[in-house]
Chains A and B, each alone.
Chain A
Amino acid sequence: MVKAIEKTGIAVVQMANLVPVATSVGANKIVPSISIPYPLGDPATPFEEQWKLRYHRVGVALDALSTEVTEQTVFSVKI
């Protein structure tokens, strides 16, 4: 899916928990998420904490979209 979109020239970043799978399938820009059932906010943590994590990781994804890369890149996250 990522590849079909990227092929048309639209910049795309994949947020995925199984980074090795995303890499193997061929996503060029990857930002890790925290789990499969709740990629961007652990329901067991306070709402503010989830929001902070989601805000941070989506921010990394946006920055990834504006970063020129020459090879598959996994962008690092702080929280």
Chain B
Amino acid sequence: MKKIVHYINQFFAGVGGEEQADYKPELHTEILGPSLALNKALEDAEVTHTLVCGDGYFGSNEEAATQELLGMLEGLEFDLFVAGPTFRAGRYGFAAGSICKSVKEKFGVPVLTSMNDENPGVNMYKKDMYIFKGGKSATKMRSDIKVIASAANKILKGEKLGSAESENFYPRGIRLQVIDKNMKPASTRVVEMLLKKLSGKEFETELPIPKNDRVDIAPAIKDLSKAKIALVTTGGIVPIDNPDKIQSASATRWGMYDISSNDDLLEGIYKTIHAGFDPYGADTDPDRIVPLDVLRAYEKEGKIDSIDSHFYSTVGTGTTEGEAYRMGSEIAVVLKDHNVDAVILTST
């Protein structure tokens, strides 16, 4: 029987939520959580071990965590490595992609994971491995596990996976050659496509060009001592009563808060409403996320001219790139209106 090792985070291992995000790597011979479902869906294979690591620990100590995890795998026999599914959890997706890549390089086994298309891990790792298209949240656990298991079954039987489209993974940028006797020659296909295009009909390109969504680098500030700086955060710092009712996750709202007479963001007056990390550090000193105290020091020294009258805040967990972009554009309108020259954006 073939053997699989399965990587999951502290949450799905049942260790705990954000307060346990710094949980260090652990190897379990008794398989846990999603590993049970994966094991059940396998044909001639079994999950022999569950590998667990806190998302925060991995994110903040990528190199050390990778070494510890790889060390645990040394001496184990396994034919395939699975991580996740990670849904829309950004840090989990990052950890899953990173550890899959390292395992593939070191042990030469196939690696599989699953992420939602809004997970930043997709763009970071889709070229390096099979990342299956997954649901937004753990409610899709069952179906996402099924997709991974069915691919694992195929690979372990020595079968090849089909195209990205047919197998539902993110294209890796590798061209899959197939011989299809029924396919029309390229010359015919291109003319048909052209005729469709000319008559305004829908057509499907055979070579989609990936869209480049970089933005031009804004010109640097010539003289900081004449510049007005604004603080923006996705760390969810708000006045203690959260007047704009910004959501703790998947935010669609943002707020701006007057700090023209503050030198410091004090505990008990401001707090974080971000549901994606342990709030202790932010609540006991909100300057750890919105560094107003040191920026005031730079203002007094004359390194900068002034600080905008407001800071701007939303929550960046589970927030889609689309919503983030919209909120960013709305904030930018106010920044322009306030004649802000430059922004320090802190994210968590």
**A contact set with B: CB distance below 8 Å:** 1-18, 20-22, 24-26, 28-29, 33-43, 50-51, 54-55, 58-59, 61-63, 65-71
A3 x B278 contact (CB < 8 A)? no
Which positions 243-286 of chain B face chain A at CB distance < 8 Å? 276-282, 284-285
A5 with B335: in contact, given A17-B59, A28-B215 (CB under 8 Å)? yes
Name the one of B90, B94, B291, B329 contacting A58, with C-beta atoms under 8 angstroms.
B291
A10 x B336 contact (CB < 8 A)? yes
B288 x A11 contact (CB < 8 A)? no
Encoded as 1 (CB less than 8 Å from any A CB) or 0, chain B from 212 to 234 comes to 01111111111110010100101
B218 x A9 contact (CB < 8 A)? yes
At the interface, yes or no: B168 with Cβ under 8 Å from chain A? no
B287 x A1 contact (CB < 8 A)? no
Q: Which residues does chain B contribute within 8 Å of A43, judged by CB atoms?
A: 280-281, 284-285, 288
A26 x B213 contact (CB < 8 A)? yes
B344 x A13 contact (CB < 8 A)? yes
Q: Which residues does chain B contribute within 8 Å of A71, judged by CB atoms?
A: 217
Q: Taking A17-B59, A21-B124, A54-B291 as given, write out 17 further A-B residue pairs in contact, using a Cβ cutoff of 8 Å, ordered by the A residue number.
A: A2-B328, A4-B329, A5-B343, A10-B342, A11-B343, A25-B321, A26-B214, A35-B56, A36-B56, A37-B280, A37-B281, A38-B288, A39-B346, A62-B344, A65-B229, A66-B227, A71-B217
A-contacting 9-mer, from B28-36, B141-149, B159-167, B292-300: B292-300
A39 with B215: in contact, given A24-B123, A66-B221 (CB under 8 Å)? no
At the interface, yes or no: B203 with Cβ under 8 Å from chain A? no
- Residues of chain B at interface, number, CB under 8 A: 72
At the interface, yes or no: B76 with Cβ under 8 Å from chain A? no
A62 x B232 contact (CB < 8 A)? no
CA distance A58 to B297 in the complex (A): 11
* Residue from B124, B220, B297 whose CB has the most chain A CB atoms within 10 Å: B220
B303 x A21 contact (CB < 8 A)? no
A18 x B291 contact (CB < 8 A)? no
Name A26's closest neighbour in chain B (CB-CB).
B214
A-B contact pairs, 8 of them (CB 8 A): A2-B345, A5-B343, A10-B332, A18-B91, A41-B285, A58-B344, A66-B220, A71-B217
Q: Which residues does chain B contribute within 8 Å of A10, judged by CB atoms?
A: 218, 332, 335-336, 340-343
At the interface, yes or no: B60 with Cβ under 8 Å from chain A? yes
Name the one of B224, B277, B314 contacting A66, with C-beta atoms under 8 angstroms.
B224
A1 x B234 contact (CB < 8 A)? yes
Which positions 86-101 of chain B face chain A at CB distance < 8 Å? 90-91, 94, 98
At the interface, yes or no: B107 with Cβ under 8 Å from chain A? no
CA distance A50 to B91 in the complex (A): 25
